[in-house]
């Protein structure tokens, strides 16, 4: 990394570009975006008046702060941003909200912090469930105001995202997936973090949000302050402090070129993903929630190959009820019908926690109680999700997928609970698709190595290379310090994929790949040649991968895979992939080189 000389122009820092695009503007330095930790108490009747008085003081202080920010920002921001702060002020006067909170103190004898937390959550939940776009948009205002009230009640310093994010680039030490999921996409230009890697969940989210992002910038959050002018290039991993006019011009031009190539590729929207010699694959998209559906359809995916259902909960900072989940899955299934929607059951744990949990108590959370393991330990909640998915299956082409399976026993147990969920729906007279397909993710070496046995119990596989690579090479997918070891073309990874495909096909089931590797057009020939039937990628990468498929002959892909399997290093394989892509899709090389 270059060293910074204070006050100088155009100082360049290099990190890892994880989401393409160039953005320039002022920094919003995010120092503490956590929801404050609160104490949860019940109180006696005598303490009620005191708690309500504290609430009134917090309301006054919160109003004062919001007005102060409005004044500070006046003249600098767009009208839209001012109206967001107006909406926050309106929440503070909203009778229903105030009564929710005061009722928590007076009727349930909660301390005021707990009453604000619960009242905010309940009121936001009610708004979310309403079939009215305007009211649903108020949910984030209610949550922002709830957080601010809690900060004032607990004396926690303010975060900057909700205040300064409009028209700003967020710089942070790190962003948790729950934070990234709740970023106001339409209000920020992009983000840059000290830590992270291309397959960290935050990077995955940045691509889904189509926001330029650079991670792994070491100590960038200590080198800049709110208001500094910066430029980031999410393709090359460049971060420039105080960019010169010349740099702004050069990067601006590059961005124009990239956009015009991407716009050209969007013309492939209605074309099939088929090689020149007629080998077709399914090209689906990954999605994190209903807000991604427009992008999935716009970019011409033929379905959702991976709906990361946990983000639906993380974005709302709580676990949703069966009804709430059902209404979201229904909407997604109906909009995509008759194209498939593969709903992955909750994949919480690892680095995916709710903001107020913030981290795991386990020493090795990625090897711990995450994903399907967590679901199987909470069978009642797991069944709620399964029932919600089953209910949605009458509205479209819905499939179920279990994440992080490492043994046959887990599939059998999950399927047993699925049967129970079906019986419960039957008993209630609720319709569902009895023949719903059930698949598993292959993202643990144990699953790849025993794929022949697992294939007998499911309808499809989807290889999750993000985790499969981390577990195969023993390299933390989110750690920029070992990012150089995280090699999708490592010979061991290719063998895992080959083994999984062979086992799937021998058992007559199809196999997809939904890790980030699928979205890299350099990998397209290799994955087709290895026999993958479906690729599921971030929506924006659909046209790129489609173009790569359409430039190939299938025999070239097979030859590439055969020779790649003979290679001894990841670099050798990568070079072969580059060579073929240069020949078959030179326009793509202009975007990625």
Contact residues toward ligand PEP (CB under 6 A) are 204, 306, 308, 347, 443, 464-467, 514-515
Least distance to ligand PEP, CB of residue 467, Å? 3
Tokens of 58: 């917090």
Least distance to ligand PEP, CB of residue 380, Å? 24
Given 443, 487, 533, 534, the residue binding Mg ion (CB under 5 A): 443
Q: Is the dihedral of CA 277, 338, 129, 345 positive or negative?
A: negative
Segment near Mg ion (CB under 5 A), from 57-65, 174-182, 439-447, 545-553?
Answer: 439-447
CA nearest 212: which of 15, 29, 23, 480?
23
With CB under 5 to 8 Å by kind, the binding choice for 35 among Mg ion, ligand PEP, none is none
With CB under 5 to 8 Å by kind, the binding choice for 465 among ligand PEP, Mg ion, none is ligand PEP
With CB under 5 to 8 Å by kind, the binding choice for 509 among Mg ion, ligand PEP, none is none
Give start and end residues of each alpha helix (H) in 74-200. Answer: 79-92, 95-106, 112-129, 133-154, 161-164, 177-181
Nearer to Mg ion, 464 or 478 (CB): 464
Q: Say how many residues touch Mg ion, by CB under 5 A.
A: 3
3-state SS class at 372: helix
Segment near Mg ion (CB under 5 A), from 258-266, 456-464, 475-483, 573-581?
Answer: 456-464
Nearer to Mg ion, 119 or 349 (CB): 349
Least distance to ligand PEP, CB of residue 372, Å? 12
With CB under 5 to 8 Å by kind, the binding choice for 193 among Mg ion, ligand PEP, none is none
CA nearest 303: which of 501, 8, 510, 586?
510
Nearer to ligand PEP, 207 or 422 (CB): 207
| Contact flag: residue 467 with Mg ion (CB under 5 A) | yes
Strand intervals (E) in 309-423: 340-344, 397-402
Q: What single DSSP character describes residue 566? A: T
Segment near Mg ion (CB under 5 A), from 6-14, 141-149, 435-443, 478-486?
Answer: 435-443
| Burial class, 499, CB count within 10 angstroms (exposed 0-12 / middle 13-18 / buried 19+) | middle
Nearer to Mg ion, 69 or 372 (CB): 372
With CB under 5 to 8 Å by kind, the binding choice for 539 among ligand PEP, Mg ion, none is none
CA dist., res. 340 & res. 328, Å (int): 15
Tokens of 585: 């899709």
Nearer to ligand PEP, 443 or 534 (CB): 443
> Three-class SS string for 523-563?
HHHHHHHCCCCEEEECHHHHHHHHHHHHCCCHHHHHHHHHH
The catalytic residue positions are 201, 514
Least distance to ligand PEP, CB of residue 464, Å? 3
Least distance to ligand PEP, CB of residue 199, Å? 7
With CB under 5 to 8 Å by kind, the binding choice for 524 among Mg ion, ligand PEP, none is none
Tokens of 69: 């920010």
Nearer to Mg ion, 200 or 433 (CB): 200
Nearer to ligand PEP, 437 or 443 (CB): 443
CA nearest 144: which of 179, 109, 176?
179
Distances (CA, A) of 377 to 287, 343, 369, 382, 414: 26, 20, 9, 9, 11
With CB under 5 to 8 Å by kind, the binding choice for 255 among ligand PEP, Mg ion, none is none
Least distance to ligand PEP, CB of residue 322, Å? 23
3-state SS class at 19: strand
* Angle in degrees, 0-180, between the axes of helices 245-265 and 542-550, rounded to the nearest 10: 60
| Contact flag: residue 464 with Mg ion (CB under 5 A) | yes
Least distance to ligand PEP, CB of residue 356, Å? 21
Segment near Mg ion (CB under 5 A), from 28-36, 46-54, 440-448, 484-492?
Answer: 440-448
Nearer to ligand PEP, 307 or 580 (CB): 307
| Burial class, 103, CB count within 10 angstroms (exposed 0-12 / middle 13-18 / buried 19+) | middle
Least distance to ligand PEP, CB of residue 593, Å? 25
- Segment 544 to 573, residues that bind Mg ion, using CB under 5 A: none
CA dist., res. 428 & res. 363, Å (int): 43
The contacts of residue 448 (CB under 8 Å, 6+ apart) are 442, 463, 468, 496, 497, 499, 500
Which residues of the chain form contacts with Mg ion (CB under 5 A)?
443, 464, 467
């Amino acid at each position: 990394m270059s060293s910074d000389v204070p006050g100088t122009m155009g100082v360049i820092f290099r990190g890892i570009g994880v989401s393409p695009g160039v953005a320039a503007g002022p920094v919003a330095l995010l120092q503490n975006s956590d929801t404050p930790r609160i104490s949860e108490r019940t109180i006696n009747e005598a303490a009620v008046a005191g708690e309500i008085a504290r609430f009134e003081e917090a309301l006054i202080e919160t109003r004062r702060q919001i007005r102060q920010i409005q004044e500070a920002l006046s003249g600098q921001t767009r009208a839209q941003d001012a109206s967001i702060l107006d909406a926050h002020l309106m929440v503070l006067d909203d009778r229903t909200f105030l009564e929710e909170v005061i009722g928590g103190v007076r009727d349930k004898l909660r301390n005021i912090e707990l009453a604000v937390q619960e009242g905010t959550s309940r009121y936001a939940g009610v708004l979310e469930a309403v079939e009215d776009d305007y009211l649903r948009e108020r949910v984030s205002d209610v949550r922002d105001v709830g957080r601010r009230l809690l900060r004032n009640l607990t004396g926690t310093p303010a975060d900057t995202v909700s205040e300064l994010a409009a028209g700003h680039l967020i710089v942070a030490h790190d962003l948790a997936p729950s934070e990234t999921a709740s970023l106001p996409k339409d209000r920020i230009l992009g983000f840059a973090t000290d830590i992270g890697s291309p397959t960290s969940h935050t990077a995955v989210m940045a691509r889904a949000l189509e926001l330029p992002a650079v991670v792994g910038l070491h100590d960038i959050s200590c080198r800049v302050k709110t208001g500094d002018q910066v430029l980031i290039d999410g393709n090359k991993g460049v971060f420039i402090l105080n960019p010169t006019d010349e740099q702004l011009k050069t990067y601006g031009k590059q961005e124009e070129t990239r956009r015009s190539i991407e716009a050209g590729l969007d013309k492939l929207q209605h074309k099939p993903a088929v090689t020149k010699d007629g080998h077709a694959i399914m090209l689906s998209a990954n999605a994190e929630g209903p807000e991604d559906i427009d992008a999935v359809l716009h970019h011409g995916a033929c379905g959702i190959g991976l709906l990361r259902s946990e983000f639906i909960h993380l974005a709302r900072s709580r676990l949703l009820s069966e009804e709430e989940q059902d209404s979201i899955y229904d909407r997604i299934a109906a909009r995509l019908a008759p194209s498939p929607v593969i709903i992955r059951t909750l994949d919480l744990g690892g680095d995916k926690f709710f903001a107020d949990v913030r981290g795991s108590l386990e020493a090795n959370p990625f090897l711990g109680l995450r994903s399907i393991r967590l679901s199987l330990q909470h069978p009642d909640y797991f069944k709620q999700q399964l029932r919600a998915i089953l209910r949605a299956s009458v509205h479209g082409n819905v499939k179920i997928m279990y994440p992080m399976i490492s043994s046959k026993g887990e599939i059998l147990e999950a399927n047993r609970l699925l049967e129970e969920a079906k019986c419960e729906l039957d008993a209630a007279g609720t319709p569902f698709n009895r023949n719903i397909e059930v698949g598993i993710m292959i993202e643990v070496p144990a699953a790849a190595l025993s794929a022949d046995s697992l294939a007998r119990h499911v309808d499809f596989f989807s290889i999750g290379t993000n985790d499969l690579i981390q577990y195969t090479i023993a390299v933390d997918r989110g750690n920029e310090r070992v990012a150089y070891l995280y090699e999708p073309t490592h010979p061991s990874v290719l063998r895992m994929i080959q083994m999984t495909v062979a086992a799937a096909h021998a058992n007559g089931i199809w196999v997809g790949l939904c890790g980030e590797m699928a979205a890299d057009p350099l990998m397209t020939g290799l994955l087709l040649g290895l026999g993958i039937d479906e690729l599921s990628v971030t929506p924006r990468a659909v046209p790129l991968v489609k173009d790569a498929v359409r430039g190939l002959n299938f025999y070239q892909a097979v030859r590439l895979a055969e020779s790649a399997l003979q290679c001894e290093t990841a670099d050798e394989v990568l070079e072969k992939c580059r060579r073929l892509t240069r020949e078959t899709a030179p326009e793509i090389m202009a975007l990625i080189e």
